Amino acid sequence: MIILGIDTSCDDTSAAVLTDGRTVLSNIINSQIKLHHVYGGVVPELASREHIRNIAPVVDEALSKAGIGMDRLDGIAVTIGPGLIGSLLVGLYYAKGLAMVRKIPLVGVNHLEGHVLSALLEDTQPDFPFVALTVSGGHTSLYHVKGLGQYVPMGQTLDDAAGEAYDKVAKILGLGYPGGAVIEALALSGDKNKIHFPRAQISPDSLDFSFSGLKTAVSMFINKWNESEEKQAEVTKEDIAACFQEAVIDVLAQKFLKAAERVNVNTLVLAGGVACNKALRQRLALETDARGMRLCYPRPFYCTDNGAMIALAGHYRIQRGERMDLADDVRSRYPIEEIMGSR
């Protein structure tokens, strides 16, 4: 089967062509980072206008790079949520148009399912069941993945997502948007033990996360630090980045491992934009090695938003005979447990 996957859930316009649910023939991503950088975050109105400009050329490029004509497509998979409504609408209506005119089967995909399955795009694949941690700019969630389409939520953030915390701290430090990679680079030359920022524990048994207290603590620290030359001589920007990152990693690693232990699962899958973070990967590799567990994650290209993971999730749905009703709409909120067929 040859599937075209389209994702316009946030600020990337992406289209990919996937064969047999395994081989990525193309994965084109048009990033809007430059557009939103100066605002310190994604401006929804600008994002949807940019998607409108980019969607046709991005899909054309994905097909031509794959060497696949529209007539050879067995299906189109498009993200229908969660995400920014104006952005999602562009992808969905473009996909609906293509599917209708060309009479190609169409399926709507939950963006989170795409992230959860993204590690299956790699040669060394995780076996089911596994526990997945999706950490991105919009989500921080733990799932017990029992099989394809079977996702049991175990924990999620009660306020900010981990990537959002990176982006906000970067904004306060005047580093622009997005913040993850910049903070990670700064942290490399910082001392992660200089300041102890809070690690929120909701309750001893909870697998939920909270990053807003950490963000506030870092922000208050930076405000005082900005006003004191003495403090600036003592603590560098790099130290702040390293200590913030250490607090995020501590919490993510602790809950991720606890989740796997709770359901007695040996395979852990890390996904989403924050999964690009090498310090997070290294910590998890150490912790899983020590417990005889297996850690899987996709390459960075498949961690951040991409059409390939949507094509993959759509592949299985189309294979199962699912089809989207052309009257169906996008959903800004779309919890994974509401996916059709999820248990």
- Using CB under 6 A, list all residues that contact ligand KG4: 10, 136-138, 163, 166-167, 178-181, 184, 272-274, 276-277, 304-305
70 Cβ contact list (under 8 Å, min separation 6):
63, 98, 102, 104
**Shortest distance, position 309 Cβ to Zn ion, whole Å:** 9
The residue among 246 and 305 lying less far from Zn ion, judged by its C-beta, is: 305
Distance between CA atoms of 126 and 128, rounded to whole angstroms?
7
Q: Which does 21 bind (CB under 5 to 8 A by kind): Zn ion, ligand KG4, none?
A: none
Query: In the complex, what is the shortest distance from the CB of residue 217 to ligand KG4, in angstroms, rounded to a whole number?
Result: 18
Q: Which lies closer to Zn ion via its Cβ, residue 40 or residue 83?
A: 83
Q: Site mask, Zn ion, residues 298-317, x = CB under 5 A?
A: -------x------------
The span of 16-24, 134-142, 191-199, 249-257 binding Zn ion (CB under 5 A) equals 134-142
The footprint of Zn ion on this chain (CB under 5 A) covers a number of residues equal to 2
CA distance 141 to 205: 16
Question: Residue 8, interface with Zn ion (CB under 5 A)?
Answer: no
Closest distance to ligand KG4 from the beta carbon of 84 (Å): 10
Give the closest residue to 112 by CA, choosing from 72, 75, 152, 76: 152
Measuring CA to CA, which residue among 124, 161, 146, 140 is closest to residue 42?
A: 161
Q: Is 178 helix (H, G, I), strand (E, B) or coil?
A: coil
Of 27 and 277, the one with the shorter C-beta distance to ligand KG4 is 277
Question: Binding to Zn ion by residue 238, rule CB under 5 A?
Answer: no
Residues 313, 119 contacting (CB under 8 angstroms)? no
Written as one string, the DSSP assignment of 232-300 is HHHS-HHHHHHHHHHHHHHHHHHHHHHHHHHTT--EEEEESGGGG-HHHHHHHHHHHHHTT-EEE---H
Please say which residue, 211 or 221, places its beta carbon nearer to ligand KG4: 211
CB of 337 to ligand KG4, least distance (A): 18
